């Protein structure tokens, strides 16, 4: 067994030990087995990360972020039947009105905003729509905070999440690095500074 709950557990043997056609060149078979082993290890590592609920280094995401990540991963963005962006907003930030002062609410929202940013740019998830979803959620949250009278001192055109976003960019965002040998896509060229 490679990993508890790993998709590789469904296979009867290790993928690299599966037989190849005898018509293939032995050198090509060796290269293919090596590539399969590398990809199997990638799947195993991703499975462990998923089991640990996005554990990053020694620090884990705050408990309020884990259900939010599950909600985002399970949401069907291709149908409007789940309440659209308003329904998703309520699942991420809660259905009730904002009652805390702005500074306190921003402190409470900080791990959620950082989690949204991580979800939007991580190479561990698929979908080019993710950054658009996060932008819409943050826009709705800012509007809710300012409309509830929590931002009387803030201007309507001020970005109240700017400090949180800059902190994420400086401390946790992936960075662009030089091309790795064999990397063909931008996702393969990005090094994740949070792992």
Q: For the chain, what percentages of helix, strand and coil (3-state, to nearest 5) are there?
A: 55, 5, 45
When the pLDDT of each residue in the chain is averaged and rounded to a whole number, the result is 75
pLDDT at 195: 41
Q: Which residue has the higher pLDDT, 12 or 192?
A: 12
Which pLDDT band holds residue 185 (cuts at 50, 70, 90)? Answer: low
pLDDT, tens digit, 9 for 90 and up, residues 110-163: 888 998 998 888 887 878 888 899 999 999 999 888 887 654 555 656 789 999
**What pTM was computed for the model?**
0.57
Q: How many CB atoms lie within 10 A of CB 109?
A: 23
Torsion sign over Cα 93, 95, 100, 102: positive
Would you give the distance in Å from CA 9 to the centre of its chain?
24
């Amino acid at each position: 067994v490679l990993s508890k709950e790993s998709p590789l557990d469904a296979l009867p043997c290790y993928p690299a030990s599966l037989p190849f056609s005898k018509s293939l060149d032995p050198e090509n078979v060796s290269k293919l087995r090596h590539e399969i082993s590398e990809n199997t290890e990638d799947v195993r590592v991703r499975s462990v990360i998923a089991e640990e609920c996005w554990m990053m280094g020694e620090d884990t995401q705050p408990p309020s972020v884990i259900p939010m990540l599950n909600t985002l991963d399970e949401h069907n963005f291709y149908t409007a039947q789940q309440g659209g962006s308003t329904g998703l907003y309520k699942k991420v930030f809660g259905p009730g009105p904002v009652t805390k002062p702005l500074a306190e609410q921003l402190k409470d929202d900080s791990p959620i905003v950082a989690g949204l940013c991580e979800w939007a740019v991580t190479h561990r998830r698929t979908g080019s729509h993710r950054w658009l979803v996060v932008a819409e959620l943050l826009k709705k949250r800012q509007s809710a905070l300012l409309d509830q009278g929590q931002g009387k001192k803030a201007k309507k055109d001020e970005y109240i999440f700017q400090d949180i976003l800059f902190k994420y960019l400086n401390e946790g965002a992936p960075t662009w690095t030089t091309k790795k040998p064999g990397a063909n896509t931008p996702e393969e060229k990005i090094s994740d500074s949070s792992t």
